[in-house]
Amino acid sequence: MFCPSSGDADSAGDASSNCTGLATSAVCTDAQGPFWRSSRARQAASDRAANSASSSATSASRFSKRFRPSVLRVKLRHLAAWNARRRAHAARYREALAEAPLRRPVERPDAHHVYHQFVVQSPRRDAVRDHLARAGVARLVHYQLTLQEVDALRERVVFRDAPERAAEAARTILSLPIYPELPVAHQQQVIEAVLAFH
């Protein structure tokens, strides 16, 4: 009962239990919707989904109402340290990739960024992504389509002007691995693979 991308308990996405009753009743009815699929298939879906944590069966929901606060209490104790590690990883990326022809996140002096993602932009994004894949580096394109390109949203999203910046981002963004437990040696492999491409 967590979403693998958010690590949040009770966000649907996946479930694990050694209790047969709970395991058989914890069915996510919207798991086939566009927001639960991975990669391009997630966004290209033609059916709409509720995308809500309340879609699990009743017994799972009752369980999660007691379980979720407990998980959050434990996780909150570590949040500041996790965010500090993410910030350190982001600083390492920014410094090491300063000469690479990539647009990197800019940290504003009046904001405290926590870097849930470290997204770079390259006009050669697909080639960079393929190069990283061959090097065995995890990478992700979070949003390959703009909202008006998603079939399930096409009739619901109306723009007065074409969203050119969103279209550019959809063509150029690439997320590099960043999470609190990212080993420095693994991050160095990512950095070396990016630099080897350029």
Q: How many CA atoms lie within 13 A of 153 on its CB side?
A: 17
Looking at residue 190, its pLDDT comes to: 97
Alpha-carbon distance of 34 to 47, in angstroms, equals 7
pLDDT above 50: residue 22: no
- Radius of gyration of the chain from its Cα atoms, rounded to whole angstroms: 19
Looking at residue 21, its pLDDT comes to: 52
pLDDT above 60: residue 24: no
Looking at residue 46, its pLDDT comes to: 56
Q: Which of 142, 81, 90 is nearest to 115 (CA)?
A: 90
Coil, helix or strand at residue 81? helix
Looking at residue 80, its pLDDT comes to: 95
**Residue 8 is encoded by which pair of tokens?**
């949040």
Higher pLDDT, 106 or 24: 106
Predicted TM-score (pTM) of this structure: 0.68
Kindly report, residue by residue over 107-156, the tens digit of the pLDDT. Answer: 899 998 999 999 999 999 999 999 999 999 999 998 898 888 888 888 88
Looking at residue 152, its pLDDT comes to: 86
**Residue 118 is encoded by which pair of tokens?**
């470290």
pLDDT above 50: residue 78: yes
Alpha-carbon distance of 131 to 137, in angstroms, equals 9
Map out the domains of the chain as residue ranges: 2-76, 79-197
- Mean pLDDT, the chain, whole residue set: 78
Q: CATH classification of 79-197 is 3.90.1150.10, yes or no?
A: yes
